[in-house]
Amino acid sequence: MTKPAYVEQQFEDIEQQTHAATLGMWVFLSTEILFFGVLFCSYMTCRTRWPDAFRHGSEDLFLWIGGINTAVLLTSSLFMALAVRSAARGDNRRVAIWLCITTAFGVAFLGIKGFEYAQDAKERLIPEYNFSTISTEDAGKPPSKQDPRPQQEQLFMVFYFIMTGFHALHMLAGVGVLLVLLIMTLRGRFSAEYHNPIEIAGLYWHFVDIVWVFLYPALYLLRQA
């Protein structure tokens, strides 16, 4: 009994390989939950310790940029889901299109994030580098009208950059994976019988999306209306 080329030598058949690969991705995602969990845990602990400074921090972030990025990322997940659906049908042409669009949205997310970081720098929010307790908005006002930032807001900013930074790294890895899959699709490596790599890449992409869905409210939305 010869196995198709897309079944690796350690597996008996495609079902076993698919089962193993999918389970493997779920286990990997659970490690990522623990990985990000440390950041969320530490963030929440520090937030409870300095509620005022952290609220200030949330208010100083660019809500609208974060909001656009949320929309971008959620939409990219839609296209990823479409790619998985087309892959199950063996429709390689559509798979390539959807993967292309997903990647584009992913790159857009990263670009907007970069733009946001530049804006944060302009606003003098980078801790240890150019953090200023007086925002640019307040710079011209007399001291009695200023609303200075608490020093502890730097800690908020540390968490903001670390958490969104690690998230962005995961996005970058995801974009890389999608590009590889795109090339493989264009080379005709996938079919209705064998398309599991696209499915599990979809799992990964959705997971990174979900992390953002937690990051956005935790960092941006805990503010006074």
Partner 1 sequence: MTTATFIPAARRVKELNFLNHDYSIHSWLMTKDHKRIAILYMVSITFFFIIGGVAAMLIRLELISPTNWLVASETYNKLFTMHGVIMVWFFLIPSIPAVLGNFLMPLMLGARDVAFPKLNMASWYLYVIGGVFTLVALLWGGVDTGWTFYTPLSSTFSNTHVVMVVVGVFIVGFSTIFTGLNFIVTTHSMRCPGMTWFRMPLFVWGIYATSVIQVLATPVLAMTLALVAIERIWRVGIFDPALGGDPLLFQHLFWFYSHPAVYIMILPGMAVESELITCFSRKEPFGYIFIAFSSVAIAILGFLVWAHHMFVAGISVYSGLVFSMLSMIVAVPSAIKVFNWTATLYKGSISLQTPMLYALGFIGLFTMGGLTGVMLATLGLDVHVHDTYFVIAHFHYIMVGGMVMTYMGGLHFWWPKITGRMYNEWWGKMSALTIFLGFNLTFFPQFILGYLGMPRRYPAYPPEFQFYNVLSSAGASILAVGYILPLVYLLLSLRYGKKAGKNPYRATGLEWTTTSPPPEHNFHSIPVITHEPYAYHLELREPPEEQPSD
Partner 2 sequence: MSGIPFVPSEGSTFAPKVDALFLFELTVAAFFTFLIFTCIVYFCIRYRRRSEDEIPPKMPSHYGLEITWTIVPFLLMLVMYFWGASLYVDMKRPGENGLEIHVIAKQWMWKIEHPEGVREINELHVPVGIPVRLILASQDVIHDFFVPAFRMKQDLIPGSYVTEWFQATQVGTFRLFCAQYCGMGHSTMVGKVVVLSPHDYQAWVAGAGPAEPPAAAGKKLFTTYGCVQCHGQRAPTLAGLYGSKVALQDGRMVIADEQYLRMAITDPSSQIVAGYPAIMPSFKGQLSEEQLYELIQFIKSLTPVRNTPYGNISQPPAAPLGAPSTQPAPGDQPQAVPNFPPAERPDSPPSQQQGPQS
Which one among 4, 24, 37, 51 touches partner 2, defined by CB under 8 A? Answer: 51
**Among candidate residues 199, 193, 174, 204, the one with its CA nearest the CA of residue 95:** 199
Question: Is the distance from CB of 14 to CB of 4 less than 8 angstroms?
Answer: yes
- How many residues line the site for partner 1 (CB under 8 A)? 35
- Please say whether the beta carbons of 172 and 76 come within 8 A: no
CB burial of residue 114 (10 Å; 0-12, 13-18, 19+): exposed
Among 188, 189, 181, 183, residue whose Cα is nearest residue 83: 181
Among 3, 13, 37, 52, binds partner 1 (CB under 8 A): 37
Q: Which is nearer to partner 1, 24 or 67 (CB)?
A: 24
- Each residue 136-155 as x (binds partner 1 by CB under 8 A) or -, in order, gives ---------------xx-xx
Told to check if 128 binds partner 1 by CB under 8 A, we report yes
Q: Is 20 in the site for partner 2 (CB under 8 A)?
A: no
Closest C-alpha to 219, from 71, 47, 36, 100: 47
CA-nearest of 86, 90, 77, 68 to 174 is 77
Out of 28, 64, 115, 214, which residue is the one contacting partner 1 (CB under 8 A)? 28
Cβ-contact 4, 194 below 8 angstroms: yes
- For residues 36 and 79, which CB has a smaller minimum distance to partner 1 in the complex? 36
Taking CB under 8 A as the rule, does residue 127 contact partner 2? no
Separation of alpha carbons 147 and 56, rounded Å: 10
Dist. CA 38–CA 35, nearest whole Å: 6
- Judged by CB under 8 A, which stretch of 1-9, 47-55, 91-99, 105-113 contacts partner 2? 47-55
Rounded Cα gap, residues 49 and 43, in angstroms: 10
Q: Of 136 and 151, which has the nearer Cβ to partner 1?
A: 151
Residues 52-91, mask of contacts with partner 2 (x by CB under 8 A): xx--------------------------------------
For partner 2, the closer of residues 151 and 191 by Cβ is 151
Q: How many Å apart are CA 37 and CA 65, to the nearest integer?
A: 24
Find the binding residues for partner 2 in span 164-193 (CB under 8 A). Answer: none
Residues 132-151 close enough to bind partner 2 by CB under 8 A: 133-134, 148, 150-151
Binding site for partner 1 (CB under 8 A): 8-12, 16, 19-20, 23-24, 27-28, 30-32, 34-39, 41-42, 45-46, 49-50, 127-128, 151-152, 154-155, 158, 162
